[in-house]
Chain A
Amino acid sequence: MSGAAGPVVVVGAGAAGLSVAAGLRRLGYRGPVTVVGEERHPPYDRPPLSKQVLAGAWPAERAYLMAGGRLEKLDVAWELAERAVGIDRKDRAVALSSGREIPYAQLVIATGVAPRTLPAPDLEGVHVLRTMDDAAALRERLAPGARLVVVGAGFLGLEVAATARRRGVAVTVVEPLQAPLADRLGELTARRLLRLHAENGVELATGLGVEAILGEHEPPPFPLEGAGGEPGGPEPVRRVRLSDGAIRDADAVLVAIGCQPQLDWLRGSGLELDDGIVCDGRCSAGEGVWAAGDVARWYHPRLQRHIRIEHRMNANEQGQAVAANIVGRGEDFAPVPFFWTDHYDVKVQVWGVIPAGAAAELVEGSEDGDSFVVAFRERPGGRMVGALGWNAMRAMPRYRSEIAASW
Protein backbone atom coordinates (compact mmCIF):
# COMPACT_ATOMS: atom_id res chain seq x y z
CA MET A 1 0.00 0.00 0.00
CA SER A 2 1.39 3.42 0.28
CA GLY A 3 -1.98 3.24 1.10
CA ALA A 4 -4.32 1.47 3.31
CA ALA A 5 -7.33 0.61 1.27
CA GLY A 6 -10.63 1.75 2.60
CA PRO A 7 -11.68 3.89 5.50
CA VAL A 8 -9.69 4.42 8.68
CA VAL A 9 -11.69 4.87 11.87
CA VAL A 10 -9.99 6.27 14.96
CA VAL A 11 -11.78 5.84 18.28
CA GLY A 12 -10.60 8.58 20.59
CA ALA A 13 -10.29 12.28 19.76
CA GLY A 14 -7.45 13.15 22.11
CA ALA A 15 -3.83 13.84 21.26
CA ALA A 16 -3.10 10.27 20.13
CA GLY A 17 -6.15 10.02 17.88
CA LEU A 18 -5.38 13.38 16.32
CA SER A 19 -1.77 12.36 15.80
CA VAL A 20 -2.92 9.28 13.86
CA ALA A 21 -5.16 11.39 11.63
CA ALA A 22 -2.50 14.03 11.03
CA GLY A 23 0.13 11.36 10.45
CA LEU A 24 -1.99 9.62 7.83
CA ARG A 25 -2.40 12.87 5.90
CA ARG A 26 1.30 13.73 6.25
CA LEU A 27 2.20 10.33 4.84
CA GLY A 28 -0.04 10.81 1.84
CA TYR A 29 -3.10 8.74 2.75
CA ARG A 30 -6.02 10.45 1.00
CA GLY A 31 -8.82 8.05 1.89
CA PRO A 32 -11.58 8.68 4.40
CA VAL A 33 -10.67 9.16 8.06
CA THR A 34 -13.30 9.30 10.80
CA VAL A 35 -12.45 10.19 14.40
CA VAL A 36 -14.94 9.31 17.15
CA GLY A 37 -14.72 11.33 20.38
CA GLU A 38 -16.75 10.92 23.55
CA GLU A 39 -16.44 14.55 24.58
CA ARG A 40 -18.12 17.46 22.85
CA HIS A 41 -14.79 19.27 22.46
CA PRO A 42 -12.52 19.04 19.44
CA PRO A 43 -9.08 17.56 20.23
CA TYR A 44 -7.34 19.45 23.00
CA ASP A 45 -4.12 19.34 24.95
CA ARG A 46 -4.40 17.86 28.44
CA PRO A 47 -1.21 19.05 30.19
CA PRO A 48 -2.47 22.66 30.46
CA LEU A 49 -5.62 21.50 32.26
CA SER A 50 -3.80 21.27 35.61
CA LYS A 51 -1.81 24.43 34.96
CA GLN A 52 -2.72 27.32 32.64
CA VAL A 53 -6.39 26.35 32.15
CA LEU A 54 -6.98 25.57 35.84
CA ALA A 55 -5.22 28.79 36.83
CA GLY A 56 -7.38 30.79 34.45
CA ALA A 57 -4.31 32.09 32.63
CA TRP A 58 -5.68 30.62 29.41
CA PRO A 59 -9.23 30.38 28.19
CA ALA A 60 -10.07 26.72 27.65
CA GLU A 61 -10.01 27.14 23.86
CA ARG A 62 -6.32 28.00 24.04
CA ALA A 63 -5.70 24.30 24.69
CA TYR A 64 -7.46 23.21 21.48
CA LEU A 65 -5.02 21.42 19.18
CA MET A 66 -4.38 22.49 15.59
CA ALA A 67 -6.29 25.73 16.03
CA GLY A 68 -6.49 28.45 13.42
CA GLY A 69 -7.99 26.33 10.65
CA ARG A 70 -5.35 23.60 10.66
CA LEU A 71 -7.74 21.01 12.06
CA GLU A 72 -10.19 21.59 9.23
CA LYS A 73 -7.47 21.15 6.64
CA LEU A 74 -6.98 17.55 7.76
CA ASP A 75 -10.27 16.70 6.05
CA VAL A 76 -11.37 14.33 8.79
CA ALA A 77 -14.97 13.39 9.64
CA TRP A 78 -15.49 14.11 13.35
CA GLU A 79 -18.03 12.14 15.34
CA LEU A 80 -17.95 14.06 18.61
CA ALA A 81 -20.10 13.48 21.69
CA GLU A 82 -20.32 9.90 20.45
CA ARG A 83 -19.05 6.86 22.28
CA ALA A 84 -17.91 3.64 20.68
CA VAL A 85 -19.73 0.78 22.41
CA GLY A 86 -18.45 -2.24 20.51
CA ILE A 87 -16.65 -3.55 17.47
CA ASP A 88 -17.58 -6.24 15.01
CA ARG A 89 -14.25 -7.52 13.80
CA LYS A 90 -15.70 -9.98 11.32
CA ASP A 91 -17.67 -7.37 9.42
CA ARG A 92 -15.25 -4.60 10.42
CA ALA A 93 -17.58 -2.05 11.93
CA VAL A 94 -17.64 0.11 15.06
CA ALA A 95 -20.93 0.48 16.92
CA LEU A 96 -21.68 3.91 18.37
CA SER A 97 -23.80 4.88 21.38
CA SER A 98 -26.28 6.58 19.05
CA GLY A 99 -26.97 3.21 17.44
CA ARG A 100 -25.12 3.85 14.21
CA GLU A 101 -22.34 1.65 12.85
CA ILE A 102 -19.26 2.92 11.03
CA PRO A 103 -17.42 0.51 8.72
CA TYR A 104 -13.65 0.42 8.84
CA ALA A 105 -10.80 -1.17 6.97
CA GLN A 106 -8.32 -0.11 9.63
CA LEU A 107 -9.37 0.66 13.19
CA VAL A 108 -7.28 2.61 15.68
CA ILE A 109 -8.18 2.55 19.36
CA ALA A 110 -6.91 5.67 21.12
CA THR A 111 -9.44 5.97 23.92
CA GLY A 112 -6.98 6.99 26.62
CA VAL A 113 -7.61 6.32 30.27
CA ALA A 114 -10.11 7.36 32.92
CA PRO A 115 -9.37 8.51 36.47
CA ARG A 116 -9.59 6.05 39.30
CA THR A 117 -12.08 7.12 41.92
CA LEU A 118 -12.62 6.45 45.60
CA PRO A 119 -15.76 4.68 46.78
CA ALA A 120 -16.86 7.96 48.33
CA PRO A 121 -20.42 9.06 49.00
CA ASP A 122 -21.99 11.32 46.42
CA LEU A 123 -20.90 14.76 47.59
CA GLU A 124 -20.71 18.01 45.68
CA GLY A 125 -17.13 19.26 45.42
CA VAL A 126 -15.37 15.91 45.04
CA HIS A 127 -13.50 16.09 41.75
CA VAL A 128 -11.30 14.22 39.35
CA LEU A 129 -9.27 15.97 36.66
CA ARG A 130 -9.01 14.42 33.23
CA THR A 131 -11.15 16.45 30.86
CA MET A 132 -11.62 20.08 29.97
CA ASP A 133 -15.01 20.01 31.70
CA ASP A 134 -13.36 18.53 34.81
CA ALA A 135 -10.92 21.45 34.82
CA ALA A 136 -13.73 24.01 34.53
CA ALA A 137 -15.61 22.39 37.41
CA LEU A 138 -12.56 22.25 39.69
CA ARG A 139 -11.59 25.80 38.82
CA GLU A 140 -14.93 27.03 40.17
CA ARG A 141 -13.87 25.67 43.58
CA LEU A 142 -10.45 27.25 43.77
CA ALA A 143 -11.34 30.72 44.98
CA PRO A 144 -8.77 32.48 47.18
CA GLY A 145 -9.14 31.26 50.75
CA ALA A 146 -10.80 28.00 49.77
CA ARG A 147 -9.51 24.73 51.26
CA LEU A 148 -8.53 21.94 48.91
CA VAL A 149 -7.62 18.39 49.88
CA VAL A 150 -5.75 16.52 47.16
CA VAL A 151 -5.74 12.74 47.42
CA GLY A 152 -2.59 11.40 45.81
CA ALA A 153 0.88 12.98 45.54
CA GLY A 154 1.45 12.02 41.92
CA PHE A 155 2.31 14.47 39.17
CA LEU A 156 -1.29 15.53 38.61
CA GLY A 157 -2.12 15.98 42.28
CA LEU A 158 1.00 18.02 42.95
CA GLU A 159 0.61 20.16 39.81
CA VAL A 160 -2.90 21.03 40.96
CA ALA A 161 -1.56 21.75 44.44
CA ALA A 162 0.89 24.24 42.93
CA THR A 163 -1.79 25.91 40.81
CA ALA A 164 -4.13 26.12 43.79
CA ARG A 165 -1.47 27.61 46.09
CA ARG A 166 -0.84 30.33 43.52
CA ARG A 167 -4.54 31.15 43.64
CA GLY A 168 -4.37 31.53 47.43
CA VAL A 169 -6.02 28.21 48.21
CA ALA A 170 -5.03 26.25 51.34
CA VAL A 171 -3.87 22.81 50.20
CA THR A 172 -3.39 19.49 51.97
CA VAL A 173 -2.05 16.56 49.95
CA VAL A 174 -2.80 13.12 51.39
CA GLU A 175 -0.61 10.29 50.16
CA PRO A 176 -0.30 6.73 51.48
CA LEU A 177 3.35 6.37 50.44
CA GLN A 178 6.02 7.79 52.71
CA ALA A 179 8.23 8.68 49.73
CA PRO A 180 5.96 9.34 46.76
CA LEU A 181 7.41 9.71 43.25
CA ALA A 182 10.75 8.17 44.22
CA ASP A 183 10.13 5.44 41.65
CA ARG A 184 9.36 8.02 38.96
CA LEU A 185 12.02 10.66 39.61
CA GLY A 186 14.65 9.02 41.78
CA GLU A 187 14.87 9.66 45.50
CA LEU A 188 16.84 12.88 45.31
CA THR A 189 14.45 14.72 43.01
CA ALA A 190 11.34 13.31 44.64
CA ARG A 191 12.51 14.67 48.00
CA ARG A 192 13.36 18.02 46.45
CA LEU A 193 9.96 18.29 44.77
CA LEU A 194 8.11 17.58 48.01
CA ARG A 195 10.27 20.14 49.78
CA LEU A 196 9.37 22.69 47.08
CA HIS A 197 5.70 22.12 47.83
CA ALA A 198 6.24 22.39 51.58
CA GLU A 199 8.12 25.67 51.05
CA ASN A 200 5.13 26.93 49.10
CA GLY A 201 2.77 26.18 51.95
CA VAL A 202 1.35 22.82 50.94
CA GLU A 203 0.65 20.51 53.85
CA LEU A 204 1.99 17.08 52.87
CA ALA A 205 0.28 14.29 54.78
CA THR A 206 2.40 11.39 53.58
CA GLY A 207 2.06 7.88 54.92
CA LEU A 208 -1.64 8.50 55.39
CA GLY A 209 -4.75 7.35 53.62
CA VAL A 210 -8.18 8.88 53.42
CA GLU A 211 -10.64 7.16 55.72
CA ALA A 212 -13.72 9.17 54.84
CA ILE A 213 -14.85 12.12 52.76
CA LEU A 214 -17.62 13.79 54.72
CA GLY A 215 -20.46 16.19 54.08
CA GLU A 216 -22.40 18.11 56.71
CA HIS A 217 -23.78 14.91 58.12
CA GLU A 218 -21.61 12.08 59.26
CA PRO A 219 -22.04 9.15 56.90
CA PRO A 220 -20.38 5.83 57.60
CA PRO A 221 -16.77 5.56 56.42
CA PHE A 222 -16.30 4.11 52.97
CA PRO A 223 -16.23 1.70 51.32
CA LEU A 224 -19.94 2.17 51.33
CA GLU A 225 -22.52 -0.19 50.01
CA GLY A 226 -24.88 1.59 47.67
CA ALA A 227 -24.10 5.07 48.86
CA GLY A 228 -26.29 7.57 47.08
CA GLY A 229 -27.07 11.24 47.10
CA GLU A 230 -29.50 12.89 49.45
CA PRO A 231 -32.92 13.59 48.04
CA GLY A 232 -32.72 16.98 46.34
CA GLY A 233 -29.13 16.53 45.22
CA PRO A 234 -25.84 15.80 46.90
CA GLU A 235 -24.73 17.91 49.85
CA PRO A 236 -21.41 19.74 49.66
CA VAL A 237 -18.21 18.18 50.93
CA ARG A 238 -17.07 19.59 54.28
CA ARG A 239 -14.29 17.49 55.71
CA VAL A 240 -11.85 14.69 55.05
CA ARG A 241 -10.90 12.24 57.77
CA LEU A 242 -7.42 10.79 57.41
CA SER A 243 -6.37 7.29 58.42
CA ASP A 244 -4.80 8.60 61.65
CA GLY A 245 -8.16 10.10 62.60
CA ALA A 246 -7.14 13.70 61.86
CA ILE A 247 -9.74 15.91 60.19
CA ARG A 248 -9.11 18.47 57.45
CA ASP A 249 -11.81 20.93 56.49
CA ALA A 250 -12.38 20.95 52.74
CA ASP A 251 -14.35 23.05 50.27
CA ALA A 252 -13.14 20.75 47.51
CA VAL A 253 -11.43 17.39 47.19
CA LEU A 254 -9.41 16.31 44.18
CA VAL A 255 -9.00 12.56 43.81
CA ALA A 256 -5.78 12.11 41.82
CA ILE A 257 -4.88 8.47 42.38
CA GLY A 258 -4.04 7.50 38.84
CA CYS A 259 -5.94 6.34 35.81
CA GLN A 260 -6.88 3.11 34.10
CA PRO A 261 -7.93 2.14 30.58
CA GLN A 262 -11.63 1.62 30.00
CA LEU A 263 -11.84 -1.69 28.19
CA ASP A 264 -15.28 -3.10 28.95
CA TRP A 265 -16.61 -2.17 25.51
CA LEU A 266 -13.95 -4.41 23.93
CA ARG A 267 -14.71 -7.56 25.93
CA GLY A 268 -15.56 -10.34 23.55
CA SER A 269 -13.82 -8.62 20.64
CA GLY A 270 -11.01 -11.17 20.62
CA LEU A 271 -8.46 -8.45 21.33
CA GLU A 272 -6.03 -9.23 24.14
CA LEU A 273 -6.78 -6.93 27.07
CA ASP A 274 -4.43 -6.63 30.02
CA ASP A 275 -4.46 -3.21 31.67
CA GLY A 276 -4.50 -1.82 28.16
CA ILE A 277 -4.81 -3.16 24.64
CA VAL A 278 -1.96 -5.57 24.11
CA CYS A 279 -0.05 -4.82 20.88
CA ASP A 280 3.04 -6.07 19.13
CA GLY A 281 6.13 -3.98 18.43
CA ARG A 282 4.36 -2.21 15.59
CA CYS A 283 1.34 -1.25 17.70
CA SER A 284 -0.89 -3.81 15.99
CA ALA A 285 -3.53 -5.35 18.26
CA GLY A 286 -4.75 -7.82 15.64
CA GLU A 287 -5.83 -7.96 12.01
CA GLY A 288 -6.88 -4.42 11.04
CA VAL A 289 -6.76 -3.08 14.60
CA TRP A 290 -4.15 -0.76 16.13
CA ALA A 291 -3.79 1.08 19.42
CA ALA A 292 -2.07 4.35 20.30
CA GLY A 293 -1.55 6.50 23.36
CA ASP A 294 -2.39 5.87 27.00
CA VAL A 295 -4.52 2.81 26.24
CA ALA A 296 -1.89 0.87 24.27
CA ARG A 297 0.27 -1.74 26.00
CA TRP A 298 2.74 -2.51 23.29
CA TYR A 299 5.92 -4.56 23.08
CA HIS A 300 8.75 -2.04 23.19
CA PRO A 301 11.43 -3.70 21.05
CA ARG A 302 14.32 -1.94 22.77
CA LEU A 303 13.11 -2.49 26.33
CA GLN A 304 11.98 -6.00 25.35
CA ARG A 305 8.78 -5.92 27.36
CA HIS A 306 5.23 -4.68 27.07
CA ILE A 307 4.77 -1.19 28.44
CA ARG A 308 2.00 1.36 28.60
CA ILE A 309 2.88 5.06 28.81
CA GLU A 310 0.52 7.81 29.95
CA HIS A 311 2.61 10.72 28.74
CA ARG A 312 1.86 13.46 26.26
CA MET A 313 4.88 12.83 24.05
CA ASN A 314 3.98 9.18 23.64
CA ALA A 315 0.52 10.07 22.37
CA ASN A 316 2.13 11.95 19.50
CA GLU A 317 4.88 9.48 18.73
CA GLN A 318 2.70 6.39 18.94
CA GLY A 319 0.03 8.05 16.82
CA GLN A 320 2.66 8.74 14.17
CA ALA A 321 3.91 5.17 14.39
CA VAL A 322 0.43 3.75 13.90
CA ALA A 323 -0.18 6.03 10.92
CA ALA A 324 3.11 4.90 9.39
CA ASN A 325 2.23 1.24 9.86
CA ILE A 326 -1.28 1.70 8.48
CA VAL A 327 0.28 2.97 5.24
CA GLY A 328 2.55 -0.03 5.23
CA ARG A 329 5.88 1.24 6.51
CA GLY A 330 6.32 -1.76 8.80
CA GLU A 331 8.20 0.16 11.48
CA ASP A 332 8.87 -1.01 15.01
CA PHE A 333 7.96 1.55 17.65
CA ALA A 334 10.87 1.90 20.07
CA PRO A 335 10.87 5.50 21.34
CA VAL A 336 13.04 7.05 24.01
CA PRO A 337 10.23 8.02 26.41
CA PHE A 338 9.89 11.61 27.60
CA PHE A 339 7.76 13.44 30.13
CA TRP A 340 7.77 16.69 32.00
CA THR A 341 5.95 18.11 34.99
CA ASP A 342 5.62 21.75 36.12
CA HIS A 343 5.41 23.04 39.72
CA TYR A 344 5.61 26.76 40.56
CA ASP A 345 8.69 27.97 38.66
CA VAL A 346 10.20 24.51 38.35
CA LYS A 347 10.09 22.26 35.33
CA VAL A 348 11.20 18.65 35.70
CA GLN A 349 11.96 16.75 32.49
CA VAL A 350 12.85 13.08 32.10
CA TRP A 351 14.18 11.36 29.00
CA GLY A 352 14.54 7.59 28.85
CA VAL A 353 13.76 5.30 31.76
CA ILE A 354 14.65 5.19 35.45
CA PRO A 355 14.90 1.46 36.22
CA ALA A 356 14.40 0.25 39.76
CA GLY A 357 17.78 0.24 41.45
CA ALA A 358 19.37 2.44 38.77
CA ALA A 359 22.66 4.15 39.60
CA ALA A 360 21.88 7.86 39.91
CA GLU A 361 24.63 10.41 39.39
CA LEU A 362 24.36 14.18 39.70
CA VAL A 363 26.03 15.35 36.48
CA GLU A 364 25.21 19.08 36.49
CA GLY A 365 24.46 21.57 39.27
CA SER A 366 23.78 20.67 42.87
CA GLU A 367 20.74 19.04 44.40
CA ASP A 368 19.94 22.19 46.38
CA GLY A 369 20.61 24.53 43.47
CA ASP A 370 18.22 26.18 41.02
CA SER A 371 19.11 23.76 38.26
CA PHE A 372 20.55 20.26 38.10
CA VAL A 373 20.72 17.14 35.95
CA VAL A 374 20.75 13.55 37.20
CA ALA A 375 21.90 10.72 34.94
CA PHE A 376 20.61 7.19 35.48
CA ARG A 377 22.64 4.15 34.50
CA GLU A 378 21.77 0.50 34.69
CA ARG A 379 24.85 0.08 36.90
CA PRO A 380 27.62 2.44 38.03
CA GLY A 381 29.75 3.28 35.00
CA GLY A 382 27.26 1.61 32.66
CA ARG A 383 25.48 3.26 29.77
CA MET A 384 23.02 6.04 30.39
CA VAL A 385 19.37 4.92 30.13
CA GLY A 386 17.67 7.96 31.67
CA ALA A 387 18.30 11.61 32.45
CA LEU A 388 16.34 14.03 34.62
CA GLY A 389 16.57 17.80 34.41
CA TRP A 390 15.41 20.20 37.11
CA ASN A 391 15.05 23.53 35.34
CA ALA A 392 17.64 22.37 32.81
CA MET A 393 15.70 22.72 29.56
CA ARG A 394 18.63 23.66 27.36
CA ALA A 395 20.86 20.89 28.66
CA MET A 396 18.40 18.05 28.16
CA PRO A 397 18.56 17.51 24.36
CA ARG A 398 22.23 16.63 24.80
CA TYR A 399 21.39 13.90 27.32
CA ARG A 400 18.58 12.68 25.13
CA SER A 401 21.11 12.24 22.32
CA GLU A 402 23.44 10.31 24.59
CA ILE A 403 20.63 7.99 25.69
CA ALA A 404 19.44 7.54 22.10
CA ALA A 405 22.95 6.69 20.89
CA SER A 406 22.90 3.38 22.76
CA TRP A 407 19.11 2.91 22.76
Chain B
Amino acid sequence: MKVVADRELCTGSGYCVVACEQVFAQDDDGLVVILDERPDESLRPGVEEAVANCPAACIWVEED
Protein backbone atom coordinates (compact mmCIF):
# COMPACT_ATOMS: atom_id res chain seq x y z
CA MET B 1 0.00 0.00 0.00
CA LYS B 2 0.99 3.59 -0.58
CA VAL B 3 -0.18 6.26 1.85
CA VAL B 4 -1.07 9.59 0.25
CA ALA B 5 -1.95 12.99 1.77
CA ASP B 6 -3.49 16.11 0.23
CA ARG B 7 -2.01 18.63 2.64
CA GLU B 8 -4.10 21.53 1.38
CA LEU B 9 -7.19 19.79 2.76
CA CYS B 10 -5.63 19.04 6.16
CA THR B 11 -7.17 20.76 9.19
CA GLY B 12 -4.57 19.64 11.70
CA SER B 13 -6.84 17.54 13.89
CA GLY B 14 -3.97 15.15 14.61
CA TYR B 15 -6.35 12.19 14.53
CA CYS B 16 -3.98 10.37 12.18
CA VAL B 17 -1.17 10.73 14.69
CA VAL B 18 -3.39 9.28 17.40
CA ALA B 19 -4.36 6.37 15.13
CA CYS B 20 -0.90 5.52 13.76
CA GLU B 21 2.08 7.55 14.90
CA GLN B 22 4.48 5.31 13.00
CA VAL B 23 3.11 6.62 9.70
CA PHE B 24 1.71 10.09 10.43
CA ALA B 25 3.11 13.19 12.14
CA GLN B 26 2.34 16.92 12.20
CA ASP B 27 4.64 19.69 10.96
CA ASP B 28 5.16 22.97 12.81
CA ASP B 29 1.82 24.22 11.47
CA GLY B 30 0.05 21.10 12.69
CA LEU B 31 -0.49 19.74 9.18
CA VAL B 32 -0.06 16.09 8.26
CA VAL B 33 3.35 14.70 7.30
CA ILE B 34 3.67 11.15 5.99
CA LEU B 35 6.62 9.53 7.75
CA ASP B 36 6.44 6.27 5.85
CA GLU B 37 4.75 6.24 2.45
CA ARG B 38 4.96 2.46 2.17
CA PRO B 39 4.40 1.13 5.68
CA ASP B 40 4.52 -2.50 6.61
CA GLU B 41 1.23 -4.41 6.27
CA SER B 42 1.21 -4.85 10.04
CA LEU B 43 0.38 -1.14 10.33
CA ARG B 44 -2.64 -1.39 8.03
CA PRO B 45 -5.30 -1.34 10.77
CA GLY B 46 -3.97 1.92 12.21
CA VAL B 47 -3.54 3.48 8.76
CA GLU B 48 -7.07 2.50 7.76
CA GLU B 49 -8.48 3.89 10.99
CA ALA B 50 -6.72 7.19 10.33
CA VAL B 51 -8.01 7.28 6.75
CA ALA B 52 -11.58 6.37 7.71
CA ASN B 53 -11.90 8.96 10.45
CA CYS B 54 -9.78 11.89 9.25
CA PRO B 55 -12.21 14.82 9.56
CA ALA B 56 -10.72 16.50 6.52
CA ALA B 57 -10.64 13.33 4.39
CA CYS B 58 -7.15 14.37 3.35
CA ILE B 59 -5.34 11.02 3.57
CA TRP B 60 -5.92 7.76 1.74
CA VAL B 61 -4.33 4.52 0.67
CA GLU B 62 -3.49 3.55 -2.91
CA GLU B 63 -3.05 -0.17 -3.35
CA ASP B 64 -0.05 -1.34 -5.36
> What is the chain A residue whose CB lies nearest that of B16?
A397
Tally of chain B residues near chain A (CB < 8 A): 21
> What is the chain B residue whose CB lies nearest that of A396?
B14
B57 touches A340 (CB 8 A): no
A26 touches B55 (CB 8 A): no
Q: Which of A48-83 contact B (CB under 8 A)?
A: 62, 65-66, 70
A313 touches B53 (CB 8 A): yes
Q: How far is the CA of A317 from the CA of B50 in the complex (A)?
A: 10
User: Which chain B residues border A338 with CB–CB below 8 Å?
Assistant: 13, 15, 55
> Does A121 lie at the interface of the complex (its beta carbon under 8 Å from any beta carbon of B)?
no
User: Which chain B residues border A396 with CB–CB below 8 Å?
Assistant: 13-14
Q: How far is the CA of A280 from the CA of B50 in the complex (A)?
A: 25
User: Which chain A residues border B55 with CB–CB below 8 Å?
Assistant: 47, 312-313, 316, 338, 340
B13 touches A313 (CB 8 A): yes
User: Which chain A residues border B48 with CB–CB below 8 Å?
Assistant: 26
Q: Which of B1-42 contact A (CB under 8 A)?
A: 9, 11-15, 17-18, 26, 28-31
B14 touches A19 (CB 8 A): no
> Does A364 lie at the interface of the complex (its beta carbon under 8 Å from any beta carbon of B)?
no
> Does A393 lie at the interface of the complex (its beta carbon under 8 Å from any beta carbon of B)?
yes
B53 touches A347 (CB 8 A): no
Q: How far is the CA of A15 from the CA of B53 in the complex (A)?
A: 10
Q: How far is the CA of A202 from the CA of B33 in the complex (A)?
A: 35
User: Which chain A residues border B11 with CB–CB below 8 Å?
Assistant: 47, 340, 342, 347
Q: A26-B52, A70-B60, A338-B55 are known contacts. Are A394 and B26 too (CB-CB below 8 A)?
A: yes
A-B residue pairs, 8 tightest by C-beta: A393-B30, A393-B12, A397-B14, A313-B55, A312-B55, A316-B53, A397-B17, A394-B26
Identify 6 new A-B residue pairs, CB closer than 8 A, beyond the known A66-B60, A349-B13, A393-B29. Answer: A313-B13, A313-B53, A338-B13, A340-B55, A393-B12, A400-B18
